[in-house]
Each structure stands twice: as C-alpha cells, then as structure tokens.
Structure 1
Amino acid sequence: MTALEPGSPERLVGVVGTGTMGQGIAQVALTAGHPVRLYDAVPGRAREAADAIAARLDRLVDKGRLDAAERDAARARLSPAESLEEFAGAALVVEAVLERLDVKQQLFTDLEEIVGDDCLLATNTSSLSVTAVGGALRLPGRLVGLHFFNPAPLMPLVEVVSGAATDVTAATRAYETARAWGKTPVVCADTPGFIVNRIARPFYAEAFAVYEEQGAQPATIDAVLRECGGFKMGAFELTDLIGQDVNEAVTRSVWEAFFQDVKFRPSLAQRRLVEAGMHGRKTGRGWYAYADGEERPEPHTAQPAQAPAYVVAEGDLGPAAELLTLIREAGIPVREEDEDNGTRLVLPSGGQLALADGQTSVEYRDVIYFDLAFDYRAATRLALGTSQEASPQTLREATGLFQAIGKDVSVIGDVPGMIVARTVARLIDLAHDAVAKGVATPEDIDTAMRLGVNYPLGPVEWSRKLGKNWAYSLLDDLHLRDPSGRYAPSLALYRHSYASDKREGSA
C-alpha cells in the first residue's frame, strides 16, 4: 500500500485537535493537495483554526512562497467539522489532542465506529506509547505514530512509529504519505521518547549538571555549546524557548517510562524553575530574563594573556590534532615528541594541556583540560577546566595560547568531561544503545538528530569522526568518578569500541 494520493475527495485527511500542532499538520496535508477537515471538541475552535491557516497561506503568498491560485485552491479544500461523524469518508485521520492516554484512547475508539476499516489512524503523540494508544481498538494494526516537529509546515522530520500491533502495510503507507508531503520520515520502534526525545536528553541533562556542579553559569555553558560544540543553541536558551515546563515534562516522561533509569534523571534545578512558574520566554523569565530592558548575561571570557613562546606536543592529540596546525599558523613553534603515557601539550612553564577525557584537573599537578570542539578551526570559543592544583602561570599560558589562535576563552570549574565532550559522548552512547535495541537504524538516528534538533552531526557519524573508542573511554573515566550509573557506557558502546579495536589490530 502506497502513499495517500491527493487530489480526489476520497483522499480526505481529517485532523483532530486545532492547537499549533494540529493546525500545522493540517496545513502540510492541505498544501500537499488533500482535502482537509478540522475538528476540535471545543465549539468554534475548528472554524478559528481554519481561518488561522487561511491567514498563514495569505502570508505565504505575500512572501512569494505560494502562488495565489494554489492558495485559493487550498482554502477551498479546507473545512471545519462540527462533529467526528464528518470524518466518515476519511482516508487518514491524525490526532493532535491533549497528551493524555485516556483522551487519545477514547478518541480513537469513537473514530473507529465512524471511519471505514481501511482508514489509516495516526497519533502525533510525543510522549505516550503508540501501543497503549491503540490498545483499545478493534483494529489496532491500522494505528501508527506520526510524530511531527513544531512548526510542522517548516520542520522536515517526521518520526513514523510502529506500535506492537501496527501492521507493516499501515506503517509503510504512513511513511510514504509523509514523504509525499515533502517531509523526511524516519522509522522508529515504539520506545519512550522515540528517536529524538530519547537520544537528545543528555544535551539538556549535561548542561544542567555542569551548572548544578557549579562548573559554569548558563550563559557560559550556552556559549561553549554554540561556539565550540557547533550546536545552533545552548541548552539553557533552547529550553527557555521550548518552555521549561514542556521540556521538563518530556524528560520526566522518558525517565519514568524507563523505570527511573539514572541515565535519564531529571534536573533538580530545572524542577525549581518549573515550580516557580519560570517557564522561559512565554512567562518572561526562565534561565534568562526576557522583560523589556533586561540584558542577557555575558559568558565568562578571559582577559587577554600573552601567548607562550613555544609548545611541546607529546603523543597524538586525536580529535584535537588540528590544533597543532592552528598553533603553527599563529607563529608559535611546536615540537612534537612521541609519548607512551598519554597525549598533551606541554607549556614553557612545565604545565600541561590535555583534551577533556573524563578525568579531573585536581588529580594531576599543573594540568588544565580543554574541551572538545566540533571544528577547532571554525570554533570561536574554547573552554578550559582548571583546579587549585593548576598554577596561575599555566592558566595564563593556556589562555594566551588559545587566544593567539583566535579563540575566546571561557574558564570553567574542574568538571570531568567538561561541557561539549561529556555531552557528545553521552549522545553517542545513547545512539549506539538505540541501534542495538532495534529502535532505529544508524542512518535514521543521524537523520533524526540533524533534522529534528539541528545537531551539526548525527551521533553515529560523530562517533566515526572522533575515533574508535573515544566516547567509551571518556564515559568509562566519568563512570569511575560518578559510580551512580549515569555515565556507565552501554554494552552496545563497549561492543562497538572493542570491535573497532580488533578490526584495527589492537588488543
């Protein structure tokens, strides 16, 4: 069974729920050529939603993104419904109602008495089990998850989720329909958080953990994630945009669905924001203040320091090897030496610089860690992690070195794994774990994370870029320092690292 064919009355798409997501899904189906019928349980809401969609189509015409004739045809295909009975001839009904299992189950039970047996039913749930939503249906095989991302007309990703009872033909039809609508669908098993909301948890959790550990303030952490990690937004500003209540609810839902697995543990600091009603932009205050006249705090940026006269590179810097080229281009001599006991940059004072590896600066005398960067040449900021064991002279030389290659420097606390490194390592771990457990393919996971949350690389691809066992080694070190289980590498990541070692002839 292939995609729904637009352009004929029997290809009617029904949308239940006329909030932002429901309107967005309706607009997507409408502009793909389908007749669309909108329904909302609150009288008058469907008409208001239809008017709002029509207004958005007008704006698309004004911007030159839609032809006026196409706009007129689309508006003619859109109609509000007074009752669910008007969906009797629908080929597809998508719900975008309240995220409550009982509400969704009752809706689909009611719809099943109205639509034909060949009608495809889809839930846009982001947090509930598709299997559970379809559990009360007479024909649960026709229910599939179609998880759009907000705003649906603009975001390309759709997660196509098969519940335990979903027929392959229904899932295939949903997938092909999403693709025919101009979306990029990915196939996903019915697991808590699906792909994106499962694998993305560490992006928020590790930023919040660094803050809770007094490693750095939100503005600094956000700046490092953006300017060093290559992410479009930092975790604090992004959750303020999403809504702290919404983001925390998703985190809590995934955590509870995994039986309170410590790897998905919510943040106490975020919980306090939610309890205080500080939900982000929509309330005027979250991690940041948004009232008129409020200024965003600046990230910590070190004062200018003199560059060292030279550096000695001991061992292979691995993911940070490009730094040697940048240092030479800045006119600073680099002497490379083989070293069997680790990899580091040695400064004239005798102090050392090492790439974040899950250990802490306090464990060593006069060692400062620097964070992982997505692209050391393109990065505009680098973070240094230091402790009381590092001398002021070493910190000055380290700061001057990175400033000499054109980077702003943020000095943070002695946090194992720092900011970007621990975040990326955990994203990689959850991705490999998801592949091993049949959640999705590596390709679909990478696609979902790039398109759904705009990561610079998918986590599986990032793993390849960073090397055979980089993530495993860092998490293993972190696990030794925090034995709660939060950083324990998954069996899947262990197997991946070990297999890679064997392929390359290592022990």
Structure 2
Amino acid sequence: MSANVTVRGSDDVTARESAALAVAALAPDRTVAVVGTGTMGQGIAQVALVAGHPVRLYDSAPGRAAEAVAAIGARLDRLVEKGRLDAAARDAAASRLHAAAEPGDLADAALVVEAIVERLPVKQQLFADLEKVVGDETILATNTSSLSVTAIAGGLRLPGRFVGLHFFNPAPLLPLVEVVSGFATDPDVATRAYVTMKAWGKTPVRCADTPGFIVNRVARPFYAEALRVYEEGGADPATIDAALRECGGFRMGPFELTDLIGQDVNEAVTRSVWEAFHQDPKFTPSLAQRRLVESGRLGRKTGHGWFSYAEGAQRPEAHTAPPAGAPARIVVHGDLGPAEPLVGLFEEAGIGVRRTARAGEGHGYIALPGGGGLHLADGEASFEYPAEDIVHFDLALDYAAASRIVLSSREDIAPEILAEAVGLFQALGKRVSVIGDVPGMIVARTVAMLADLAADAVDRDVATAEDVDTAMRLGVNYPAGPLEWAAKAGHRRLSGLLRSLHERYPTGRYAPSPALVRRAYAEDREDAS
C-alpha cells in the first residue's frame, strides 16, 4: 500500500477517535426503547439492558411486547444458570425492562432502535410517528441490513439525529455493530452512537450509507466465486467448501453457510446489493442459487439446500485424491511469493530442494522431476499451455496449518505428472483435491475479489481499512481481514490474477478496481526503492 493511502487511513482513525473522546456515551440511567420484538429486537433490548439501561419494548402487534419481556427474562435466567450473570444483576435488569402499550410510552427515551420488517414505507411511517412523540434530542436508529439509512430518514423533520445501528444476529453474542451515517446524519450523533456501542461492550465500526454497508457489500464474492466455480463444473459443493475451510481457513464453506442462513435470504441480499449498484457485474447473482430457491430447497429450514438435512442423510465428502508417491527432489525457480513457506515445509518433509536464482516476487514455480511445473493460481488455465504439463495449486491462508491443498490441471495432462504433484503435497500430511481446470482456482480468486471490493470501499470512503478488516473478521468470522490478507498475498499478485480473469471473462466482473491497482503500483514502487 502506498504511503499516502496509509497516512490517510491513520489520520481518519486518529481524528475519529479524538472526536469520540469529546462526545459521551448515553448515560446508563437514560432509557433505551426498542421497536420490534422479533429475534433481533429482543437481542438488542437484552444488550442494552445488561449494559444498565432502563429498556422499553414496543410492538404494534398486541401482546407481543409482553411476550418479549418474558422471553428476555427467561434468557437472563439461563445466563444465571450458566454462571455468566449473577442473580442480583439479573433481578436488577428484570426490574428495568418494561413493555410499552403505545408509541407515546417511549416519549422519554434517549435512544430508539427500530428492528421491524425490512420494508422502506413501513419504516418511514414508524419514524414519522415516533418523531411526534419523542424529544428533539432523542437519537433515532434503524437496525436495517439492506435498506438505505438516508431514505428511511428522508421524510423526517430532524434527519440529523437519525443513524443506522446494524447489529449482527445473535445480537447478545456477536460483537460487531455497523454504525451507519446517512447523508444527513449529524457527525456528533454518529459519534455518540459509536461510543455508546463501545460502552455496551460491542465493537463498533463506522461506515457510510452505501448498499450492503461494509459486511454485506464486501462479503459477496465469498459466495459468488464458489457458485461460479460450481456453475463452471470445476468442483462440487462439498469440495469447494472443504477448499475454503481447510485451505483458506474460513470457518464454514459458502454452500454449508448459505444452507444455514437460508438460500432465499442469502440470494435476496445478493440481489438487493446488485440492484442497488445498478446491476454492477461484480455483484451479479447466481443462476444456480436462483434455481435452488425456486425449487424450495432453502437449506436447513426446509430440510434440503445444497445438502440434505433429512434424518440419517449423509453429507457428501470432498473429493480427495488417493495416495501417490512423493518425488525425492524438486527444483524451485524464483520466488514463490505467498507460497514461499512451502519450501521450508518440503525440506522438513525430507524432500530435496534445489533453488535457482530468484526471479521477481510471486513469479516462481516448482519444477517436478517428471518435467511438470507447479504454479500458484494466477488466473490462467492449464489448457492454455498444451505443450507444457502445468499444474496449478491454490492459495492458502497458512500453508503450514492448511490440512488440504487444491490442485487443477488440464484433462490430458500426463498422469505421472499429476501424481507427482499430488504426492508432493501428501508428503506434507495434506489431503489433496484435484478439481477441474478453473482459472484462478477457488481460494485465490475468492481472496482477490474480497480484497478488490474491500480496497474499493476504502477508497470510496465507505469505511477505513481498519474498520473494513475488523468488520469482516467479526461480522462473518473471516480468518483475516481482506486488506490484511491482500498485503500478505501481494496486491500485485491479486491485481494480476484479476486482470487474467478479466481477459478470460470480459464482462467487467473481474476488472480490478482502481483502488487495488493503485496499491499494486505502490507495492512496485516500494520494492524498487
């Protein structure tokens, strides 16, 4: 990353933290109101309650608020049983929690958080009604995950006191809160919301009001690239999931994760972001996922999605290559870039390694005894080199910790060459999956696209680099922030991979953003200095 980018990010963080020190969090004795008593509403109310605030719950459906009060009380009881809350604190919290019979009962609230249905007209009407009963200093907040904060506040008399507070489900457990500033949000209001979330024990990140905010914007390629590899016939869902878990270090694969989220929910978010960005090809939804939704296979909640969840159903296993003999020696030509740690691992496994003069970073390869070459995924396909026996291997978060390595090659590669490549990684104790000849493989193209969207978000002032990485680690449990991973893998390599993919799929989907290209050029300048 260039010096000017780094300085700008540091200055942003310093200025915002300084501003935060000048604005106090809401005092614990101030009332917090939550409108909407579904899962998210109850979770947000519980967080505010445990933080010490009096909390009022309101729901337009008769009796729902009282039911929610009872449900939250039962959860507090379970926390006491598990030793996470003492009985006195439970009793004090329960005494501060009340159901509101009508909007007027929220008049003295210092903060009102809305968690109702994701329909813009309904939310706009709710806040128009609330503005008639609360004071002018009351902060109004929406927990929307997909609608424009600016649009929700558009008809308000005082839109400056309106902010987005996007909690993640389950709100009492997940630490991340996206604090979203709409076009008219007063900076002091956003800062007060930010420091209040910190006081509640959350990890807030600031972001501008753009489609998907941070997490739902930057996360799209994690699902999209897996679906694209599947649609191209490169690998089956179980193998793609295993690649991203066991090689990429992600906690769950995209197919099992969308089954958990709900295929309809995940597809709807993807489509919403795509449409909000005027059908930008970088966010194009998957036809395969659309067919799954149309068939009613929505995941765990319907008993079948990409996988079956029927009683006794067996989960498909990832394709794993049978044992193969490892070569006794290899030659490493040049620098392997982010795969350089493999050299030490091969030597520890007793494989003889000879090195030739180093080339430019990331342009090296491994020569096998039988004449084949192992290349880190670079956006090219092996079939484009019919005179060479090229095997591509995928990017890993940590080659020492990875339990699986993914390989690809053209269909007519010499079997003994492929066997040498398989055996080489098996000698490290890795499982090996051989997939179709997919340009960019699985992990590498996913990381490149995540880094591209993250860099673009930072350069468009959606959020700071630090907040983007924090949001992706905490909001969707990524093993590393995409910008952190990009710096480790090399912006030049990732930008080059996307350029290669763009040449093969000239739709604009893989055209690297100017933000990523700038970082690649800055990297070149730093290497040259």
Q: Which structure 2 residues correspond to residues 27-42 of structure 1 after superposition, within 5 A?
A: 27-42=46-61
Provide the rounded CA distance (Å) in 1 between the counterparts of 2:151 and 2:295: 33
Counterpart of 2:109 in 1: which secondary structure?
coil
Name the counterpart of 1:362.
383
- Alpha carbons 2:498, 2:511 under 8 Å: kept: yes
Q: Is 1:343–2:364 an aligned residue pair?
A: yes
Choose which of 26, 29, 41 in structure 2 pairs with 1:4.
26
Q: Relative to structure 1, is the Cα distance of residues 91 and 340 closer, same or farther in structure 2, using a 3 angstrom cutoff?
A: closer
The ranges of structure 1 where at least 4 consecutive aligned residues each deviate by more than 6 angstroms after the TM superposition are none
- Shift, 1:468, TM fit: 4.1
Q: Relative to structure 1, is the Cα distance of residues 2 and 339 closer, same or farther in structure 2, using a 3 angstrom cutoff?
A: closer
Provide the rounded CA distance (Å) in 1 between the counterparts of 2:102 and 2:435: 58
Provide the rounded CA distance (Å) in 2 between the counterparts of 1:72 and 1:291: 42
Q: Match of 1:77, as an amino acid? A: R
Counterpart of 2:193 in 1: which secondary structure?
helix
Q: Deviations over 1:145-204 (max 9, x none)?
A: 000000000000000000000001110111011110000000000000000000000000
Q: Which structure 2 residues correspond to residues 153-302 of structure 1 after superposition, within 5 A?
A: 153-302=172-321
Counterpart of 1:504 in 2: which secondary structure?
helix
Moved more, 420-429 or 381-390: 381-390
Q: Which structure 2 residues correspond to residues 331-480 of structure 1 after superposition, within 5 A?
A: 331-338=350-357, 342-364=363-385, 365-480=388-503
Q: Deviations over 1:354-376 (max 9, x none)?
A: 10010001112210100000000
- Shift, 1:340, TM fit: 5.1
Name the counterpart of 1:97.
116
Q: Match of 1:344, as an amino acid? A: Y
- Shift, 1:432, TM fit: 0.7
- Alpha carbons 1:468, 1:501 under 8 Å: kept: no
- TM-score of the superposed pair, with normalisation by structure 1: 0.98
Counterpart of 2:406 in 1: which secondary structure?
strand
Choose which of 497, 514, 520 in structure 2 pairs with 1:491.
514
- Alpha carbons 2:58, 2:99 under 8 Å: kept: yes
Counterpart of 2:163 in 1: which secondary structure?
strand
Counterpart of 2:325 in 1: which secondary structure?
coil
Q: Deviations over 1:229-253 (max 9, x none)?
A: 0100000111111111111111011
Q: Deviations over 1:438-459 (max 9, x none)?
A: 0000010111011101111111
Provide the rounded CA distance (Å) in 2 between the counterparts of 1:16 and 1:276: 35
Q: Match of 2:24, as an amino acid? A: T
Provide the rounded CA distance (Å) in 2 between the counterparts of 1:485 and 1:437: 19
Provide the rounded CA distance (Å) in 1 between the counterparts of 2:150 and 2:93: 34
- Alpha carbons 2:491, 2:516 under 8 Å: kept: no
Provide the rounded CA distance (Å) in 1 between the counterparts of 2:512 and 2:181: 28
- Shift, 1:97, TM fit: 0.4
- Alpha carbons 1:367, 1:389 under 8 Å: kept: no
- Tell me how many residue pairs correspond in the alignment: 503
Q: Deviations over 1:238-284 (max 9, x none)?
A: 11111111111110110000000000000111111111111111111
Provide the rounded CA distance (Å) in 2 between the counterparts of 1:457 and 1:244: 25
Q: Match of 1:356, as an amino acid? A: A
- Shift, 1:339, TM fit: 6.2
- TM-score of the superposed pair, with normalisation by structure 2: 0.94
Unaligned runs of 5+ in 1: none
Provide the rounded CA distance (Å) in 2 between the counterparts of 1:298 and 1:482: 30
Provide the rounded CA distance (Å) in 1 between the counterparts of 2:445 and 2:282: 13
Provide the rounded CA distance (Å) in 2 between the counterparts of 1:177 and 1:345: 53
Provide the rounded CA distance (Å) in 2 between the counterparts of 1:425 and 1:304: 31
Counterpart of 1:185 in 2: which secondary structure?
strand
- Alpha carbons 1:386, 1:413 under 8 Å: kept: yes
| Identity value in percent | 69
Unaligned runs of 5+ in 2: 1-22
Name the counterpart of 1:326.
345
Counterpart of 1:159 in 2: which secondary structure?
strand
Q: Relative to structure 1, is the Cα distance of residues 157 and 74 closer, same or farther in structure 2, using a 3 angstrom cutoff?
A: same
Provide the rounded CA distance (Å) in 2 between the counterparts of 1:96 and 1:349: 62
Q: Is 1:48–2:48 an aligned residue pair?
A: no
- Shift, 1:504, TM fit: 2.2
Moved more, 337-346 or 385-394: 337-346
- Alpha carbons 2:335, 2:359 under 8 Å: kept: no
Provide the rounded CA distance (Å) in 2 between the counterparts of 1:468 and 1:408: 28
Provide the rounded CA distance (Å) in 1 between the counterparts of 2:433 and 2:411: 17
Counterpart of 2:69 in 1: which secondary structure?
helix
